[in-house]
A and B are shown apart, each in its own frame.
Chain A
């Protein structure tokens, strides 16, 4: 039954990705000539390292900030009535279904120099800010897209938490705040961490959002990879960058799996 799928994945995913990654060891643009030169080029270059760190920073900021914004939303979805939940879900889906490109476009309009956000700053007597082309603008656009990927899994985890445990803690004298912090939050933590890791991994690969809301001077890994591939035809260098990015992504995917498995084991035990 799985043969057609395996053939499709083989031809369109595994084979292409592998030969692209292998270019790192077979395709060289001078001054790189052989062996691990491409990887050495990537890790040895100051600019490249800055871009790698920036990609890592932007992705971490997305993960942490999205988790902070998403937690109250997901929590509220578990305590609100059915009608409220439908509305909250509707809001989420509405923004999701408009697509990545058009949502980025909305942020371009909002954040532009003569845009509404700057008009507000102007009106309250502050200076206009050039948001577009900066890392915060990119993070903002990415968070808007990544939000559902955080909320939906988090909601299903929070929904499974037995809230009577919180009540029990309160009945034994804990303040609501303390009961929340010491009982509810630890139970919610696996969901938060798994969601944040997923968002982080997805954020590592963003290409369109940094291109529209960022600038070449604030380039992320995906853009640099494309630049090497497309303009310089340095397939090997691009391949080396892909290897580095993929390794980072894989480490975090595995971490996320471990967290999820642990929480599942815990859920079974309780």
Chain B
């Protein structure tokens, strides 16, 4: 399939140049952050004139640690909740014969296309009355709603192409419904569920708009703190957080790549569906 040559040499070179430029446009801006994190000045001047490691030392302050812990706790709970509820919903969407299920599907996906500010202001009004603002419960509930599509889209897609004869075969061979689910169905949806759970975690960890409405002085998440340190003050500590996150993400991706290569290069690029 890769042998054909429909494009002339010129077109091919043009494509390579364009794609390289696009890749640079995606990556280079991120690398600009790294030197700023070592800046000795209280500005975002690039390149910095003086250098220090103080920003990384500052991160040990309770303010940053506290925000990080809050974000991690909330994102973990959201990941668990969204993957559980998302799996249930995916089964319902793909296996129900009811016509109303179309509405459920639309409802689950809607929070991602409705402008976030509308959802945020609405939640603010309701949670104020329920006294959920500034609480873990409020954050987890709100973020779970936003994270559900990340689980439902891939898991439902996997279930749609899933050969139900496998379940019947398992049942006819004597496995009970629970054993069938664990050994057959779950094994097949596991990759989709894992990536969905990961994206759900990430969406909560990164979420800022709802967090701005839900936060309280006693409950601040990492994005809220970062946003404040970018707008209220000019604090290069933000760049230190970004650098650590960049390093972490890169390491995770290299590990994932390595694991995948070991698992045999079965060239299957994960195609996304939206």
Contacts and interface: CB of A to CB of B under 8 A. Distances in A.
A18 B96 CA distance: 27
Interface residues of B, number: 83
Given A5-B88, A204-B115, A205-B114, A101 B208 contact: yes
A164 to B, nearest CB: 8
Interface string A76-103: 1101011001101111111101111111
B274 A107 contact: no
Interface in B221-243: 223, 226-227, 230-231, 238-239, 241-242
Interface string B1-25: 1101011100100011011001101
A212 B8 CA distance: 43
Contacts of B27: 91, 94-95
Nearest to B17: A72
A73 B22 contact: yes
Nearest to B14: A72
B145 A102 contact: no
B248 to A, nearest CB: 9
Given A82-B265, A112-B44, A8 B33 contact: no
B92 A1 contact: yes
A12 B123 contact: yes
Given A90-B257, A103-B30, A115 B88 contact: no
B89 to A, nearest CB: 5
A11 B27 CA distance: 39
A205 B22 contact: no
A28 interface: no
A225 B88 contact: no
Contacts of A85: 267, 269
Interface string B90-131: 011000100001001001101101111111011111110000
B30 A72 contact: no
A102 B242 contact: yes
B104 A98 contact: no
Interface string A181-215: 00000000000000000100110110110011000
B44, B246, B269 — most chain A CB neighbours (10 Å): B269
Interface size on A, as a range, is 35 or more
B223 A101 contact: yes
Contacts of B1: 163
A105, A149, A180 — most chain B CB neighbours (10 Å): A105
A255 interface: no
B122 A17 contact: yes
A107 B25 CA distance: 11
A128 B123 CA distance: 43
B24 to A, nearest CB: 9
A212 B229 CA distance: 12
A222 B89 contact: no
Contacts of A108: 44, 230
Contacts of B11: 176-177
11 contacts: A6-B107, A12-B142, A14-B107, A15-B126, A16-B119, A89-B270, A95-B30, A105-B238, A110-B29, A153-B272, A225-B117
Given A102-B241, A159-B271, A208-B227, 7 more contacts: A72-B18, A101-B206, A102-B30, A110-B46, A180-B6, A205-B116, A245-B118
Interface of A: 1-2, 4-6, 8-9, 11-21, 23, 69, 72-73, 75-77, 79, 81-82, 85-86, 88-95, 97-103, 105-110, 112, 114-116, 119, 144, 147, 149, 152-153, 155-156, 159, 163, 166-167, 170, 176-177, 179-180, 198, 201-202, 204-205, 207-208, 211-212, 221-222, 225-226, 229, 235, 238, 242, 245-246, 249, 253
For the complex of A and B, the 5 pairs showing the least CB-CB separation, nearest first, are: A205-B115, A16-B122, A152-B272, A20-B122, A82-B267
